[in-house]
Structure 1
Amino acid sequence: MSEDLRVQEFWRALGLPGIIDVHTHFMPANVMEKVWGYFDAVGPLTGREWPIHYRHEEDVRVEHLRGFGVRRFTSMIYPHKPEMAGWLNQWSAEFAEQTPDCLRTSTFYPEESAAAYVAEAIESGTRVFKSHIQVGDYSPNDPLLDPVWGVLQEAGVPVVIHCGSGPAPGTHTGPGPIAELLSRYPRLHLIIAHMGLPEYREFLDLADQYSTVYLDTTMTFTDYTEAATPFPRDQVHRLAELQERIVFGSDFPNIPYPYLDALEGLTRFDLGEPWLRAVCHDNAARLFAID
């Protein structure tokens, strides 16, 4: 059976119309090549190879997702220096215009212009933002971001935020800076990427405390991640308790295994079909108002 049919078989068995994947990467070609170069270098440094499973041209990657039955996906972009976010946002807007099943994605960086281009992005139709605390090496509590968080809170536009200390800790990663951020902006719609690994417990605590905090499943529960950063078994019951605020993410195309592994990993703890339906589709459909 082809890969497409195996993925389709997974969601059809749940009675779903497809999958919504909140954590996929589409970027300008030169930026994507640099990202892939980073992962190529990870293996020799860590002793654990990271082969990019879907290293294809952009149009082929889009068709892969469509073939899998992914109804909506994102173009997670992120800057690592000033004056980069605006250019990425322009590229992402054009990509979403040409790719209607992609939720228009934008990003930001702590700089004087951030408040203006974030407000403009929201006004012109951005559905989700990406913040990468680790790669960007910035504090989410940088004063330059205060007006950004303010407008995002008022607009209710979700932010997928990579803030956990995996795969390697950064200067500003971990639950502490996010707890401080939420104490100041308690109605922010944050989607904690990778469920905050390896600080699973602490980010589950924040989701318990704040009703607009979600967690995405990106790379979690797979054999690849469980071998190095297993989800704590004494926290599995909390996955069920937070069923309505966990959403599926894959990290496509930058994953070192087939797409189906990410879906099959969701079945690891036998949380039931209603949980799988909520995570693979219904929660994100509700969050992003997808019919």
Structure 2
Amino acid sequence: MTMDLDSLVAIDVHTHAEVGADGQSSLSPALMAASEAYFKAQGHRQPTIDEMAEYYRSRSMAAVVFTVDAEHLTGHPAISNYEVASSCAAHPDVLIPFASIDPHKGRAGVREARRLVTEFGVRGFKFHPSLQGFSPDDPMAYPLYEVIEELGVPALFHTGQTGIGAGVPGGGGIRLRYSNPMLVDGVAVDFPELRIILAHPSFPWQDEALAVATHKPYVYIDLSGWSPKYFPPQLVRYANTLLQDKVLFGSDYPVLTPDRWLADFDKLEIKPAVRPKILKENAARLLGLFSSTSSAMSSAKESA
């Protein structure tokens, strides 16, 4: 079974694998509780990747799935990237595996990144600088960016405030400043062919994110983690105009469901011609997902 792009109504580029096959959580109990409180999702059930596949399949959507490797800062072991990749491989019609590698792993992380893409079909990498405890422009991470750029897959960076650690004394050791999108601007300069996704409306640095995405041709923005009814007006304005080909639908499932996100997105003043770009077309192009019909349509447009 393969992905039929024409049958999909949307591609969600931001979902989390929160529980492994052995029941291991992606976060420590304290940080998970803080995240659930922040998103008012206390008691929500953590779906398995197989359950995520059925959830998205029933909605005719595809989803990018990842966890976060932040063991260096948190001391909590990550869900295995290989488990995420193999579980997604069982559902290629709806799931797209991303991996997460803590830059503190050094050369071992670089080797793992290459193997995950070439042998396990991983299509991108997720970074959470605040949770992983590093500045995106730290040269420590550059060997990892180098191999990701070489492999031609995107790097998705959490930006803005995080609900993880919110309310915990000292924020659980999580430093918000590492998630300022201006720190990713230097990465875009030093790795000019690297496809970069700035995740979330980047509160309190929304204008910074818009500036970077407007200035750097391969920097995109995903709209996950916020209900669209709370989007800053400048984000909506840029999504409708200058960045209409570089803005991506993302939910942050399971803490924010695509059902709620899409219901609120329907009420947003987005141009009819832009809606399908945000919901599916931009992500399909960025991730290299093409069906025969969409490829034919693209060729016809280019010929015209």
Relative to the length of structure 1, the TM-score reads 0.80
Structure 2 residue corresponding to 1:114, chosen from 100, 109, 112: 109
Q: 1:136-167 deviations in whole A, cap 9, x for unaligned?
A: 12222333311111122233211121032344
Does 1:164 pair with 2:160? Answer: yes
Deviates more, 1:232-241 or 1:184-193: 232-241
Shift of 1:267: 3.3
Aligned CA distance change for structure 1 residues 252 and 232 (closer, same or farther; 3 Å): closer
Moved more, 98-107 or 168-177: 168-177
Secondary structure of the residue aligned to 2:99 is: strand
8 A Cα contact 1:86 1:117, kept in partner = no
Shift, 1:108, TM fit: 1.2
Residue 66 of structure 1 aligns with which residue?
A: 57
- The one of 183, 195, 200 equivalent to 1:177 is 183
The counterpart of 1:148, out of the listed 144, 147, 170, is 144
Matched residues in 2 for 1:193 and 1:102: separation? 19
Corresponding position of 1:11: none
Gap runs ≥5 in structure 2: 1-5, 167-174, 292-304
**Aligned: 1:128 with 2:124:** yes
1:255-289 CA-partner distances (Å, limit 9, x unpaired): 2xx53220123234311222111111111111122
Is this contact kept in 2: 1:36–1:52, CA < 8 A? no
Aligned runs of 1:2-17 on 2, under 5 Å? 17=8
Residue 194 (str. 1) matches residue 188 (str. 2): no
**Does the Cα contact within 8 Å between 1:74 and 1:103 map onto a contact in 2?**
yes
- Relative to structure 1, the CA distance from residue 73 to residue 51 in structure 2 (aligned partners, 3 Å threshold; closer, same or farther) is same
Aligned to 1:240: 240
Cα distance in 2, alignment partners of residues 160 and 287 from structure 1: 12
* Equivalent residue number for residue 104 of structure 1: 97
Verify the 8 A CA contact 2:240 2:271 in the aligned structure 1: no
Q: Which residue of 2 aligns with 1:7?
A: none
Please tell me whether the aligned partners of residues 159 and 180 of structure 2 are also in contact (alpha carbons under 8 angstroms): yes
Structure 2 counterpart of 1:219: 225
SS of the aligned residue for 1:196 comes to coil
User: Per the alignment, do residues 35 and 214 of structure 1 end up closer, same or farther by CA in structure 2, a change over 3 Å counting?
Assistant: farther
> Which residue identity is paired with 2:178?
H
SS at match of 1:145: helix
Q: Deviations over 1:107-128 (max 9, x none)?
A: 1112221221112222222111
The corresponding residue for 2:67 is 77
Matched, 1:205 2:211: yes
In 2: Cα distance, 1:85 partner to 1:130 partner: 16
Relative to structure 1, the CA distance from residue 129 to residue 172 in structure 2 (aligned partners, 3 Å threshold; closer, same or farther) is same
Distance change (3 Å), C-alpha of 1:196 and 1:52 = farther
The alpha carbon displacement at 1:79 in A equals 0.9
- 2:118 corresponds to which letter in structure 1? E
Report the CA distance between 1:199 and its aligned residue.
1.5
8 Å CA contact 1:52, 1:253 repeated in 2: no
- 8 Å CA contact 1:25–1:252 kept in 2: the answer is yes
Aligned pairs, number: 266
Q: Verify the 8 A CA contact 1:85 1:108 in the aligned structure 2.
A: no
Q: What secondary structure sits across from 2:126 in the alignment?
A: strand
Are the counterparts in 1 of residues 181 and 208 from structure 2 also a CA contact under 8 Å? yes
Find the aligned partners of 2:234 and 2:123 in 1 and give their Cα distance: 35
- Which string of whole-angstrom CA distances, capped at 9 and with x for unpartnered residues, describes residues 152-184 of structure 1? 223321112103234465251212321222222
How many angstroms does 1:235 deviate by?
4.6
Identity of aligned residues (%): 24
- Indicate the residue corresponding to 1:3 in structure 2: none
Counterparts of 2:195 and 2:97 in 1: how far apart (Å)? 16
Distance in 1 between the 2:63 and 2:219 partners? 19
